[in-house]
Structure 1
Amino acid sequence: MKRIDRTQKVRTGFHEAKWDEPIIYELSKPGERGILPPHAEEKVRKTVGDGVSALPEGLRRKQTVNLPELSQSRVLRHYLRLSQETLGADVNIEIGQGTCTMKYSPKVNEQLSRSLFDLHPLQDPSTVQGILKIFHETDRYMQEISGMSRFTFQPGGGSQGLFTMASVVRAYMDSRGETRDKFISTIYSHPSDAAAPALKGYKIIYLQPDPETGVPDLEAFKAVCTERTAGFIQANPEDTGLYNGHIAQFTEYAHKMGALCCYDQANGNAVLGVARAKEAGFDMCHFNLHKTFSTPHGCGGPACGATGVREGLEEFLPAPLIDFDGEEYFYNYAFENKEFGVRKVRSYYGVAPVVFKTYCWIRSMGPNGLYQVTKTAVLNNNYMFKKMLEIPGVSAYYMDGKNQRVEQCRYTMEKIFEDTGVSTTDIQRRMMDFGMHYWTSHHPFYLPEPITLEPTETPSKEDIDEYVETLKYVFRECYEKPEYVKSAPHASTTHQVDESVMDDPAKWATSWKVYLRKYQ
């Protein structure tokens, strides 16, 4: 048996668990059951009926719901096998998730959040005072962190938080009888910063970066910000990791033109305890609780795009807000029936376990701890930045020295691509063979052959070293055996994916039912 060298930094012996696991519907066997509940006793039937007859005819199903039929043991095997084929922050060094801020989520918070499983959002407020208090106090913490006046936790994620801000802008302008049709964003902000106001009917104007500094130019901003501008929306720092230290001049000019300013703080690791949206002149902001506040990300959900507004804009937030009258916490629907306002962006009040975990994390960290998060995240990123630029063929744009990267960086491997033909998406697949994630960029690729890495405050120096050494190993492979890298992954459950249909909605299959209809 070969002895593993525990001192080596590149773990070449990784192989992910791999099962030839079918879709659960393919495992279904008619008549198979996981449990057979007993029939209701006669006394129960006389009291509550058969559970169907009391339903109006229009609410009754015409046919049985199409669910897979499996035994308990089959269900258990299926989901345990899928869990073994999954990478995540609890399994691997999660640095390569780019702008998604994957960090460690304390397990005690996970256990605490399970106490909510027996609650229901339609319960009488008197029976759920505990979780309402947590919502209310988390709102107050968000206010202190950002300088905003009120927060809503309704948005189900970052993009919906951005949509909420765009909706607030629309409602505010409508309430004033103003017809404005333009929104300004930047090309290095999250794509949803433009998509959200576009969904509200606004024309999007993109600011290009200054070729030297990499951040938007103030004079260019003034040239496009006019009386027709409804809003300005930007991530700061942007996805390049560069922070615009002159942002207050942008918001001041936008206000001069009568526009509102929206701050995308989906990735807040760079600013906790350092800078606030209020002092930067923003009228509203949003945080991804499932990123900065460690709830955790959850592979696309559950999530929460907590959205806050300055004083004077509270009436446009979705209802209900959760308030306290000195004796009990209650749902405040005061703004729901106003002529202008967002009213709702999703059901209920927010994802309670996510808000609860955020509350726990903030309480355990305290103000000094949140500030330490930022210092450590910035330190980790700048250490990684130095190590990454030591790799032959890896570089970064906007290196004039006037702006340092903050909590992340978007690198480029265009030299390696020119030399070998190996692309950044090839590297993405090859890193799976080491049990590591690697992210490229949002589309389109404004920087050629991008690599976007964000270490956060979670990994140790040794973790960062291991990740960088693994990248070095793979980049050497690009020169020594490029076809092997291009044909990756070799030790992962993920295979080469045909992405030719990604831009053709007619070929998408978003559910098993749609797949059967289109391809069977």
Structure 2
Amino acid sequence: MTSPFLQRHLGPSDVEQDQMLRVLGYQCMEDFISDVVPKDILDAIPPRDILPTGCGETEALADLGRIAAKNQVQRSLIGLGYHGTAMPALIQRHVFENPAWYTAYTPYQAEIAQGRLEALLNFQTLISELTGLPIANASLLDEATAAAEAMGLSFGVRSRPNAKFFLVDHKVLPQTWAVLQTRAEPLGIELKWTDPEHVTFDANVFGILLQLPGVDGIVWNPTATIEKAHRANALVTVAVDPLAQTLFAPVADFGADIAVGSAQRFGVPMGFGGPHAAFFATREIYKRQIPGRLVGESKDVEGNPALRLALQTREQHIRRDKATSNICTAQVLLAVIASFYAVYHGPDGLHDIARRLVALRLRLENGLQSLNFPLDPGERFDTVTVTTSYAPAVHAAALAAGFNLRVLPNGAPVAQATGFGITLDELSDEKEVNQLLEVIAHVTNKPAPALPTTTPTNTTLQSLPSRTRPWLTQSVFHCYRSETELMRYIQRLVSRDLSLVHGMIPLGSCTMKLNAAAELFPVSWPAFACLHPFAPLDQASGYLQLVDDLERWLAALTGFSAVSLQPNAGSQGEYAGLLVIRAWHRFCGEDRRDICLIPTSAHGTNPASAVMAGLKVVAVACDAEGNIDQENLVALAMKHTDRLAALMVTYPSTHGVFETGIRNICEVIHNHGGQVYLDGANLNAQVGLSRPGAFGADVCHINLHKTFCIPHGGGGPGVGPIGVAAHLAPFLPGHPFQDQVALAIGPVSAAVLGNASILPISWMYLRMMGADALRQASSVALLSANYLACRLDDHFPVLFRGSTGRVAHECILDLRPIKRDAGIDVDDIAKRLMDYGFHAPTVSWPVAGTLMVEPTESESLSELNRFVDALIAIREEIRTIETGEIDALNNPLKQSPHTMTALMVEVWERPYSRQQAAFPLPNQAQNKVWPVVARIDNAFGDRNLVCTCPPVEAIATAV
């Protein structure tokens, strides 16, 4: 039965699909599909016995509502880096739930992404001001992996090549310690657990990680420890709570080289572990080693300030196995929310929240001491831990009263608890503290303590120097106190961006498809948003059912035996998959296998991930048709037969075709003892049509933020689960807060389920679509790409095709002849497309001088034709340059994009009309998306790096 939701998800109607098939010369969809997908991997029917039957959104929401009701939302005071927080309703409505923010793409085309870039610059400024370090990136995945990135940076820049020890504060968060162990081993880094106040350094140490406050809430002055580290040429990373950092001097004042942490408590729901924006700040000397993305200020050709991604933009694609990180997806949407939270509260508001927490913690401490509970010496921020024989009873009583407390030791069963921990947060108040003390007093058969009715006035942290210098003085953190003004500021930024709200984003390899409102709606439900990731599992029955459904459905669609949802980005999925392969080889007694074959056309994250997993990269050539050169593959497999660990292959290929030899490719690798890792970036061409696990792949990562409808969020969040064959299932990632599996690799993310709170999006998509509709969606994605390729080939030759002359779900347009004949390069066409109202396709990748176009199944025939019309019109503009009718430098392409300001000049001196500049398509004036800046000078910005908001003084000087 056809899903009622299918017509909502697909762009082309049945009639339009028939029109497109006729253009391509086919009578029906199945004839077309059998011509595109190789017959030896094409499935006759999708796995209907496992997948749900498709339904409408009302029914799916009702089903998911019943699952969500199985979650028990208790008041979790567990801490460990996750806290209750209050997202302002204004931010929830205008940012978190606003498709203009969550459907935008990574801001690689900066001229039409100025709104997001400004919000991210605000985030960077916030982090830089909090930590005192001048360079902060535009977010990482979570605190634990940010700490691992800091370890990697410290290791990469170490002054002594033989130094291999990284010291770790014994009060670090347990999940951070676990992720560090996972990351360290493949790189040959040895970790040492240490008491930082009594640590010694030698020549074998290259860095140290401190936690401030510690896992027990204790704060202390690390200056002496940092000085010792620097005398030994070791770099110091401090994992800092951003709210605590508002009370004491920036960690840079103590000498920290790197600061990491999570911005979750700045208005982002716990969501059972994510997504949350991690932060990473460092000294200017390391600006080219900082992982992830960095927003910087430059200027456009008209001299106006303009923002863009700076320095290492997509550096993993350029540097490949020499990249400093494999990070591709960030947590942009969550960093934007955190930045608006800081704008909403301002420095005084953030400081007040922190001071109130200290006052409540003092109240809690006084009450516990009056009940004769011993407290460890030291000053705390928001956390109190107690060791007591009453612990099991305290936990039971607290649970009955609606509270989850931290079980000590971490992760122990309640019955074996030796203590409890309480972490207060923004939602705490005196009533809650009094209630907690009443519960604990009842356990000890004592009356609740009588506490002072006045609030403590001394709410500074005596152990650390206070923050005395003015901070967050930039006007953006002071001007928007009224809701009216903040709403207008948010909408002003929205107006500077192009997203799926405005039109097609035809990016190859990125699958910018519909993110339906019904899919996004449940993410805000408290039953999903408000659970702590380390809450008792019997309170998360709904999440566990949702996860079980997703794992079964994804396994059925990909042909694998098991799936792990822990990796919280595609790059993390790559890394986890390779670690699983490596663990399996070791289990088989073949530790020597360390060679990873990777085609030259592969995503840049592939070689970067391989190196991080401890493998050595060997490149495999591609033939003239863009396929893997099988002779070269066989030769390399034979050459490295004793050491071959894996092949990483993208399918359909990065060149946008179904290679007919994929089964043989897998067989070659297996015959030489290796495993096949299939990059699932292009899975949108396969769902319901073919299954990687059935044609030879052993591991595949599945980008839920592409194929399965989680939106890109302006560059993140993502989810990159991995599916594995049966022999690899025992090695899937574990976690210290779940039952240990003997053979499991260590965790690759801070939380057991990574970005758990956005999994309902993919659940809703699969529930509404069902098996047959998923097959139809993939078929239409293939149809749309081939329709575009057919219509554009006479104007921009399609570079690669499959054996039947068809492309897969994307096509590469060759612009190199145009560069040769007219001097117009790919960037000129990308910028000119903005004037036509389109985001550019993927530029100069995987082949320099080309555009890679992916229309997806969600764009209507009229939108596809509008895009084709735009490119054909641009080709005609180029032709006037080729014939000499218009100047080779002063023409609509070289001068694009055209801003409203540029058109409003009194005297227009260009050899083309204003109409052609701004409204080149008929009726475009009725729906114009204006770039707010002209073409940006990236080189100027990199030479004059500015990556935080200008201070008030600079603004005043400019005015």
Shorter-chain TM-score above 0.5: yes
Q: Is the 8 A contact 2:656 2:810 kept in 1?
A: yes
Aligned to 2:810: 408
Aligned to 2:522: 112
Which amino acid is 2:606 matched to? D
* SS in structure 2 at match of 1:183: strand
Task: Determine whether 1:449 maps to 2:849.
Answer: yes
Aligned to 2:915: none
Q: Is the 8 A contact 2:657 2:802 kept in 1?
A: no
For the residues of structure 2 that align with 1:465 and 1:160, how far apart are their CA atoms? Answer: 37
For the residues of structure 1 that align with 2:724 and 2:947, how far apart are their CA atoms? Answer: 35
Task: Determine whether 1:432 maps to 2:842.
Answer: no
Higher mean C-alpha displacement, 263-272 vs 477-486: 477-486
Aligned to 1:84: 495
Q: Is the 8 A contact 1:149 1:314 kept in 2?
A: yes
Superposition pairs for residues 17-166 of structure 1, below 5 Å? 24=122, 48=364, 56-57=378-379, 62-64=465-467, 68-70=477-479, 71-73=481-483, 74-94=485-505, 96-115=506-525, 116-166=528-578
1:71-100 residue CA offsets vs partner (Å, 9 max, x unmatched): 244443332211221111122222x21110
Which residue of 606, 624, 636 maps to 1:193?
Answer: 606
* SS in structure 2 at match of 1:91: coil
1:320-375 residue CA offsets vs partner (Å, 9 max, x unmatched): 49xxxxxxxxx75232xx4x542111111121233110011001000001100111
Q: Is the 8 A contact 2:600 2:621 kept in 1?
A: yes
Aligned to 1:476: 876
Aligned-residue offset at 1:189: 2.4
1:217-251 residue CA offsets vs partner (Å, 9 max, x unmatched): 32221100122211011101112211112111111
Superposition pairs for residues 327-342 of structure 1, below 5 Å? 332-335=738-741, 338=742, 341-342=744-745
Aligned to 1:259: 674
- Greater helix fraction, Structure 1 or Structure 2: 2
Q: Is the 8 A contact 1:426 1:488 kept in 2?
A: yes
* SS in structure 1 at match of 2:685: coil
Q: Is the 8 A contact 2:843 2:850 kept in 1?
A: yes
Aligned-residue offset at 1:35: 12
The two structures have a TM-score, normalised by structure 2, of 0.46
Aligned to 2:705: 290
What are structure 1's unaligned runs of at least 5 residues? 1-14, 322-330
Task: Determine whether 1:271 maps to 2:686.
Answer: yes
**Gap change, CA 1:31 and 1:461, over 3 Å in 2:** closer
Which residue of 764, 782, 788 maps to 1:384?
Answer: 788
What are structure 2's unaligned runs of at least 5 residues? 1-110, 127-341, 370-374, 382-460, 881-885, 900-930, 954-959
Aligned-residue offset at 1:62: 4.2
Aligned to 1:218: 630
1:415-454 residue CA offsets vs partner (Å, 9 max, x unmatched): 22122111111111121223311124465x53x4101100
Task: Determine whether 1:498 maps to 2:941.
Answer: no
* SS in structure 2 at match of 1:220: helix
Aligned to 1:345: 748
**Gap change, CA 1:244 and 1:66, over 3 Å in 2:** farther
* SS in structure 1 at match of 2:939: coil
For the residues of structure 1 that align with 2:562 and 2:721, how far apart are their CA atoms? Answer: 10
Aligned to 2:819: 417
Q: Is the 8 A contact 1:17 1:84 kept in 2?
A: no
**Gap change, CA 1:198 and 1:79, over 3 Å in 2:** same
Which amino acid is 1:155 matched to? P
Which amino acid is 2:834 matched to? M
1:470-493 residue CA offsets vs partner (Å, 9 max, x unmatched): 112222223435533123211302
Q: Percent identity?
A: 25
Which residue of 489, 494, 501 maps to 2:897?
Answer: 489
* SS in structure 2 at match of 1:267: helix
**Gap change, CA 1:369 and 1:30, over 3 Å in 2:** closer
**Gap change, CA 1:161 and 1:510, over 3 Å in 2:** farther
1:13-47 residue CA offsets vs partner (Å, 9 max, x unmatched): xx989899796469989877599889979x97885
* SS in structure 2 at match of 1:98: coil
1:377-416 residue CA offsets vs partner (Å, 9 max, x unmatched): 111111111111132xx11224585452110011111122
**Gap change, CA 1:354 and 1:250, over 3 Å in 2:** same
RMSD across aligned positions (CA): 3.6
Task: Determine whether 1:233 maps to 2:637.
Answer: no
Q: Is the 8 A contact 2:844 2:851 kept in 1?
A: no
For the residues of structure 2 that align with 1:245 and 1:473, how far apart are their CA atoms? Answer: 35
For the residues of structure 1 that align with 2:801 and 2:699, how far apart are their CA atoms? Answer: 31
Aligned to 1:3: none
Aligned-residue offset at 1:501: 7.5
Q: Is the 8 A contact 1:264 1:286 kept in 2?
A: yes
**Gap change, CA 1:221 and 1:298, over 3 Å in 2:** same
Which amino acid is 2:781 matched to? A
Q: Is the 8 A contact 1:183 1:233 kept in 2?
A: yes
Which amino acid is 1:110 matched to? L
For the residues of structure 2 that align with 1:251 and 1:508, how far apart are their CA atoms? Answer: 46
Q: Is the 8 A contact 2:687 2:775 kept in 1?
A: yes
| The structure with more radius of gyration | 2
**Gap change, CA 1:361 and 1:510, over 3 Å in 2:** farther
* SS in structure 2 at match of 1:486: coil
Aligned to 1:168: 580
For the residues of structure 2 that align with 1:284 and 1:21, how far apart are their CA atoms? Answer: 39
